[in-house]
Amino acid sequence: MNVSRELHNLDDCRDLAGQLARQIASQSKSVLPITIGLVGTLGAGKTQWTKFFAESLGAQADEISSPTYVLIHRYDSQPIIHHVDAYRVKDEDEFLELGIEELFESQQITIVEWADRFRDLMPEETVWITLELDSNDSSHRHVTIENLPPTLSLV
């Protein structure tokens, strides 16, 4: 299933991320493992979306940041989240060396920023979230969610 939304401000972003997080948590036994691939230009809001998502699942706000230099952060949320930033990953071999396949198979949520760089290595069931900036309003985003499992519903 595919969903499109307009996010007019940070509250809209928080609401959408929280809604998806709560849906996944409530159905964790049937939807985990789940991988979310985030796509968007620099500044589109990928890390902010992840922060809102992780906070909704109980992660501590001060622990959530972009894993640009560390590449992978683990958040003690319920369920566990691994947050991967593929921006600085050079090639497919380096991406695989992160142990990404093991993350994709474990009973948790894996969120990959810049996932489109390694689309061929992402699980077939990846939920793709694309954040696009509005060129006329920097606080406005268009969000497209693709490949959402049919058991998850975003109203």
Cα–Cα dist 40/143, whole Å: 10
pLDDT of residue 147: 95
- Tens digit of each residue's pLDDT (9 = 90 or more) over 73-113: 899 899 999 999 999 899 999 999 999 999 999 999 999 99
Asked if pLDDT for residue 69 goes beyond 70, the answer is no
Asked if residue 31 lies in contact with residue 149, where contact means CB atoms within 8 angstroms, the answer is yes
pLDDT of residue 68: 59
Average pLDDT, the chain: 91
Q: What are phi and psi of 139, to 5 degrees?
A: -90, -10
pLDDT tier at 64, thresholds 50, 70, 90? confident
Q: Where are the alpha helices (DSSP H) in the chain?
A: 10-26, 28-31, 46-56, 92-97, 100-105
Q: What are phi and psi of 9, to 5 degrees?
A: -165, 180
pLDDT of residue 62: 74
- Tens digit of each residue's pLDDT (9 = 90 or more) over 8-17: 999 999 999 9
Asked if pLDDT for residue 70 goes beyond 70, the answer is no
